């Protein structure tokens, strides 16, 4: 095996989907997670009790709730934990503010994390989480699948 192949960092991948859209995040920088939701989707009754920590700010509207959800889901995917971690154990900043992690159990996430909102198309909101220090560069590429117009 050539030396340059052994030195190439392992690629990481995360996948999310919502009606009519599939989003894939890839990187060689570290663990990555992505999640997306349609802006038009309404959250279920009792969402705050199931998703939000007792100390977490209550979202101002359903879009802020979806934003909070996509951030938590992206983080848990990137950490390789998914929903085996209760999302109420993650305390994030309000969904209508720039993303920030306020509190998280060390055994669930570890760190450090880069968390950012990523809205791949106008009608969809989402979040990207990457195990990394500091800012990251993100490139969004839209691919039209065969048979879709």
- State residue 4's pLDDT score: 60
CA distances, 101 to each of 75, 89, 121, 126 (Å)? 10, 11, 25, 16
Does any domain span residue 18?
yes
Does any domain span residue 138?
no
Stated pTM of the model: 0.87
Does any domain span residue 149?
no
In the chain, the number of structural domains is 1
Does any domain span residue 64?
yes
User: Dihedral through CA 96, CA 99, CA 105, CA 106, nearest 10?
Assistant: 180
Render each residue's pLDDT in the chain as its tens digit; 149 residues.
565 666 777 889 999 999 888 999 998 888 999 999 999 888 888 999 999 999 998 999 999 999 999 999 999 999 998 888 899 999 999 999 999 999 988 787 877 889 999 998 889 999 999 998 767 777 777 777 666 55
Angle made by CA atoms 108, 42, 72, in degrees to the nearest 5? 15
Does any domain span residue 135?
no
Kindly report the CATH number assigned to the domain that includes residue 98.
3.90.470.20
Does any domain span residue 63?
yes
- State residue 6's pLDDT score: 67
Does any domain span residue 66?
yes
Residue-number span of the structural domain to which 36 is assigned: 3-130
Does any domain span residue 144?
no
């Amino acid at each position: 095996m050539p030396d340059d192949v052994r030195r190439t960092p392992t690629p990481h991948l995360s996948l999310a989907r919502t009606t009519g859209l599939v989003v894939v995040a890839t990187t060689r920088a570290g663990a990555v997670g992505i999640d997306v939701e349609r802006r038009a989707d309404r959250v279920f009754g009792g969402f705050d009790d199931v998703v939000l920590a007792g100390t977490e700010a209550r979202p101002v509207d359903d879009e802020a709730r979806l934003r909070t959800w996509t951030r938590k889901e992206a983080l848990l995917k990137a950490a390789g934990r998914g929903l085996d971690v209760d999302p109420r154990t993650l305390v994030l900043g309000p969904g209508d503010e720039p993303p920030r992690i306020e509190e998280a159990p060390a055994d669930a996430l570890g760190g450090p994390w880069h968390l950012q909102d990523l809205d791949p198309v106008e009608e969809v909101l989402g979040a990207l989480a990457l195990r990394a220090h500091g800012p990251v560069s993100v490139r969004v590429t839209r691919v039209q699948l065969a048979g879709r117009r």
